């Protein structure tokens, strides 16, 4: 059994992004720029925003931070997004989710220009992904694909099972696996005989948001197991895989924390650079 080290692979990706930015700005061109909007003061969201800011500093991306009060009306947030859409010095716009209940997240996502949608949540970019011509890769699924690639795990011809059908992970994950010629099954809360299906998986991606849901008796000997879940149980962070029992069966497995999590921000950095290159007609 080999543990896939997301921290190490993330650091490698960020180092490559930093080198690319150095080359892109060597002639005096401005650095790429990411604007992050946080509405409210939820501690978890504040940590995510802080981590994104730190990653931007590390790779050489200019980071703009906009903090709005949790009671700020939706119209004010949409007004700020419109301002940033029109700002030619901004390459990426990210609104930290979740937003307060009085704000419609779908309206917020659709308000962001598809050209600056570095989370790849906008319907236009989702459509490009599912038709096989993505401009931006959804960050967490893209991070999973990079982990597989860097670990030497080929997707082509493999039985791939995704547990979870969210718009953020499950659905785009299935599209990326399919694009690499995997044979993909998507399971969810209404799936019957889940264990029978997960046992067929050469590559299993658990993204259901339920702690320790997938146990060792549900996985195939020699499978690659990717755990996207982050669940707090007492004072511990655990994934959707029961790590100890699953590790006994797996050839490759990601830990929680330190597996998929670090990759999400690394891919966000790459998407911001992609947007920048599109703006300057460099791709």
Q: Per the residue annotation, which of 5, 14, 52, 240 is the catalytic one?
A: 52
Q: Which residue is listed with tokens 């007492």?
A: 234
Would you call 52 a catalytic residue per the annotation? yes
Look up 277 and say whether it is catalytic. Answer: no
Q: Is the bond leading into 198 cis (omega within 30 degrees of zero)? A: no
Helix, strand or coil, per DSSP, at residue 189: coil
Decide if 12 is catalytic. Answer: no
The catalytic residue among 119, 202, 227, 240 is 119
Sign of dihedral through CA atoms 50, 232, 209, 222? positive
Label residue 60 left, alpha or beta by phi (over 0 means left) and psi (-120 to 50 means alpha). Answer: left
- Dist. CA 202–CA 112, nearest whole Å: 37
Catalytic residue among 96, 202, 220, 249: 96
Cβ neighbors of 68 (< 8 A, separation 6 or more) are 37, 38, 39, 40, 76, 77, 80
Question: Which residues belong to the active site?
Answer: 52, 96, 119
């Amino acid at each position: 059994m080999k543990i896939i080290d997301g921290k190490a692979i993330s650091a490698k990706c960020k180092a490559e992004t930093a080198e690319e930015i150095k080359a892109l700005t060597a002639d005096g061109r401005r650095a790429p720029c990411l604007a992050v909007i946080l509405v409210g003061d939820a501690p978890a969201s504040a940590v995510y925003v802080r981590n994104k800011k730190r990653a931007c500093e590390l790779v050489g991306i200019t980071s703009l931070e906009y903090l709005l009060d949790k009671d700020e009306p939706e119209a004010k947030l949409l007004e700020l997004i419109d301002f940033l859409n029109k700002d030619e010095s901004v390459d990426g716009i990210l609104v930290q989710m979740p937003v307060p209940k009085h704000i419609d997240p779908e309206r917020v996502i659709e308000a962001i220009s598809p050209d600056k949608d570095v989370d790849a949540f906008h319907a236009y970019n989702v459509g490009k992904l599912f038709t096989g011509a993505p401009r931006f890769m959804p960050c967490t699924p893209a991070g999973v694909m990079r982990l597989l690639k860097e670990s030497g795990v080929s997707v082509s011809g493999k039985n791939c099972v995704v547990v979870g059908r969210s718009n953020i992970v499950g659905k785009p994950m299935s599209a990326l696996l399919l694009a690499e010629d995997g044979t993909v099954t998507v399971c969810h809360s209404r799936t019957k005989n889940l264990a029978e299906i997960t046992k067929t998986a050469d590559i299993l991606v658990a993204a259901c948001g339920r702690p320790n849901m997938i146990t060792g008796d549900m996985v195939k000997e020699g499978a690659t197991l990717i755990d996207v879940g982050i669940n707090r149980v007492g004072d511990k962070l655990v994934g959707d895989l029961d790590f100890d029992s699953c590790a006994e069966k797996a050839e490759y497995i990601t830990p929680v924390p330190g597996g998929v999590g670090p990759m999400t921000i690394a891919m966000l950095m790459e998407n911001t650079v992609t947007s920048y290159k599109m703006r300057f007609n460099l791709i």
